[in-house]
Amino acid sequence: MTHGLNRIMWTTLGLVFAAVWGLPFLYSVWTAFHDEIYSANFVWNAPLTVENFREAWQAAPFALYFLNTFILITIVLIANLVLCTLVAYAFVRYRFRWSGFLFALIMVQLLVSPEILIVENYLTLSRIGMIDTILGIALPYLTSAFGIFLLRQTFMTVPVSLDEAAQIEGAGAWRVLWNIYVPLAKPVYLAYALVSISFHWNNFLWPLIVTNSPEVRPVTVGLSVFATVESGVEWSLVNAATLMTTAPLIVAFIIFQRQFVANFMRAGIK
């Protein structure tokens, strides 16, 4: 009996906590779907509207921003997957001088991430004339220490006998990589891709510094420009734009909730 009571108490506590935790987000959602006049006063049966979304969509080139984010994510993801795979493969399968030192050198990026070095990276970028380009935003992130670390850990679990068998069959370095290591690491690639996509979708500071024109702005920077210009004017529009720019991630999360959580966990444990 006490056990049942305990359970009810904990359930109530948990749900109340979850509700309080969700409050800022729900308030923003509520405002986005209602007319501006309701943003100061909550009326439970106020008429719903999607007018804010339509207006926000037209007030700034969000379609372009989405396209830019999509291009940015694609570049970074492909480069990460290819480059990190090659480096991890070299570390696991070959021995060479200074390999321990080189690995330590790479891992420095986990601590000193590109955000810390915005000042000098901006100067580098302007020296090679890549300011205000999407490739310029992507450049510091093309090789990822986290990706190399994750794939190296995974490749190390590939049975040596498989590798040797393939070699006896006459497979070269590339065939071994492509037919043995890559397929066995598939779940890790998926996990890494999810983490990487959400990181670069959300990234803000570096793209803000690198871009000055709408043609190359990713969604996060576009949103901040929109929200600053309009700030204080129409909260319902700002909230609608905020939701709009995050909607793809939220929808993806709700659809892939289980995989997402599992993959985040995997990324963390390693």
Q: Select from 78, 135, 156, 250 the one that contacts other proteins (CB under 8 A).
A: 250
Cβ(125)–Cβ(210) below 8 Å: yes
Which residues have C-beta within 8 Å of that of residue 206, sequence separation ≥ 6?
A: 114, 115, 118, 121, 137, 140
27 forms part of the interface with other proteins (CB under 8 A): yes
Q: Select from 133, 153, 179, 224 the one that contacts other proteins (CB under 8 A).
A: 224
229 forms part of the interface with other proteins (CB under 8 A): no
Instruction: State in angstroms the smallest separation of the CB of 122 from other proteins.
Output: 8
Which range in 53-61, 149-157, 179-187, 216-224 contacts other proteins by CB under 8 A? Answer: 216-224
Q: Which is nearer to other proteins, 64 or 262 (CB)?
A: 262
> Can you tell me the distance from the alpha carbon of 190 to that of 197, in angstroms, rounded to the nearest whole number?
10
73 forms part of the interface with other proteins (CB under 8 A): no
Which range in 10-18, 55-63, 129-137, 183-191 contacts other proteins by CB under 8 A? Answer: 10-18
83 forms part of the interface with other proteins (CB under 8 A): yes
44 forms part of the interface with other proteins (CB under 8 A): no
Show contacts with other proteins in window 134-163 (CB under 8 A). Answer: 139-140, 142-143, 145, 160, 163
Q: Which is nearer to other proteins, 71 or 249 (CB)?
A: 249
> Can you tell me the distance from the alpha carbon of 244 to that of 223, in angstroms, rounded to the nearest whole number?
10
50 forms part of the interface with other proteins (CB under 8 A): no
> Can you tell me the distance from the alpha carbon of 199 to that of 189, in angstroms, rounded to the nearest whole number?
15
- Give the residue among 39, 35, 153, 33 at the shortest CA–CA distance from 91: 153
Cα–Cα separations (whole angstroms), residue 77 to 6, 70, 109:
47, 10, 17
Give the dihedral sign, CA 81/87/89/92.
negative
